[in-house]
């Protein structure tokens, strides 16, 4: 049953990926709301991630706690800041329609793979 649910989920995400985002160009977004939304989305996406599991295990073994938290935070920054910087630099050159189609095809392939595994 789980494989069927996973396959259907991948198919749904493939369809959803094809739908472009709607954002009015003349509407200015408040920076504070974007920061809060990004912070919440990042926190939710990272819950249960292996990085957080490793942080909890390291915090249980080593003290003081602030050093463990500072180390994992700096490690995440070192991994993510270059990606964000390069992404913002090249975002205008990325053909979004092609990226949406490629992502949808990847999710479709994953759904077919999961469906194949269900049989």
Helices (runs of H) and strands (runs of E) counted in the chain:
5, 0
Burial class of residue 50 in the structure, from the number of CB atoms within 10 Å of its CB (0-12 exposed, 13-18 middle, 19+ buried): exposed
What would the two tokens of residue 23 be?
A: 């954002």
Give the pLDDT confidence score for residue 23 in this predicted structure. Answer: 61
Query: Model-level pTM greater than 0.85?
Result: no
Whether 59 and 68 have beta carbons less than 8 Å apart is answered as: yes
For residue 1, count other CB atoms closer than 10 A to its CB: 6
Give the pLDDT confidence score for residue 27 in this predicted structure. Answer: 63
Question: How sure is the predictor about 31, in pLDDT bands with cuts at 50, 70 and 90?
Answer: low
Q: What is the pLDDT of residues 84-100, one digit of tens each?
A: 888 888 878 888 889 89
């Amino acid at each position: 049953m789980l494989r069927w649910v996973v396959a259907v989920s991948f198919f749904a995400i493939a369809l959803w990926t094809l739908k472009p985002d709607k954002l009015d160009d003349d509407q200015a977004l408040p920076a504070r709301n974007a920061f809060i939304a990004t912070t919440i989305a990042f926190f939710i996406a990272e819950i249960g991630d292996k990085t957080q599991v490793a942080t909890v295990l390291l915090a249980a073994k080593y003290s003081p706690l602030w050093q463990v938290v500072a180390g994992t935070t700096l490690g995440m920054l070192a991994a993510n800041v270059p990606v964000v910087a390069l992404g913002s630099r090249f975002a205008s050159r990325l053909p979004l329609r092609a990226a949406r189609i490629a992502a949808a095809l990847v999710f479709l392939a994953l759904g077919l793979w999961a469906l194949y595994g269900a049989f």
